[in-house]
Amino acid sequence: MRKYFLGEFEEIVLLATAILHKSAYGVSIKEEIEAQLDREVSMGALHAALLRLEEKGYIRSANGEATEERAGRPRKYYEITAMGKKAIAYAKESREKMWKAIPKVVFELSGLF
């Protein structure tokens, strides 16, 4: 399988975009991450990650309808691409492989599990 490179935050943003499916836009992605992970997200960091993911071809964006509530500006929606789906599948498989390789004794000694 081709190697896909995702930083931790990029992976989280990509997962949130997949969770939200057709409803993924900046604020909704931010709120999803904060709700799922109890982690604060700055809009600047989020927009930077969205730009990187789009440049990598893992997501694509499209403008929605302009609304009065947004002063006539359209909302920008994001959608995961086929390559983005492969990237998160690769990340999941890689992490599972690493987790399975940890000897059980490591967790027994640390009291984590």
Residue 113 has pLDDT above 80, yes or no: no
Dihedral of CA atoms 89, 94, 99, 102 in degrees, nearest 10, equals 170
Please report the pLDDT score of residue 43 as a whole number.
96
Residue 11 has pLDDT above 60, yes or no: yes
Please report the pLDDT score of residue 105 as a whole number.
80
E strand residue ranges, 1-113: 59-66, 74-80
Residue 113 carries which side chain, given as an amino acid letter?
Answer: F
Please report the pLDDT score of residue 2 as a whole number.
60
* pLDDT per position as a tens digit, 55-105: 999 999 999 877 777 667 888 999 999 999 999 999 999 999 999 999 888
* pLDDT per position as a tens digit, 13-30: 999 999 999 999 999 999
Q: What is the CA radius of gyration of the chain?
A: 17
Please report the pLDDT score of residue 72 as a whole number.
72
Give the number of other Cβ atoms within 10 Å of residue 23's Cβ: 12
Structure tokens at 44: 């600047």
Give the number of other Cβ atoms within 10 Å of residue 48's Cβ: 14
Among the four given CATH numbers 1.20.59.10, 1.20.58.220, 3.60.20.10, 1.10.10.10, the one describing domain 8-88? 1.10.10.10
**What is the percent of the chain with per-residue pLDDT over 70, rounded to a whole number?**
92
Residue 110 has pLDDT above 70, yes or no: no
**More confident: 52 or 4:** 52
> Where do the structural domains in the chain lie, given as residue ranges?
8-88
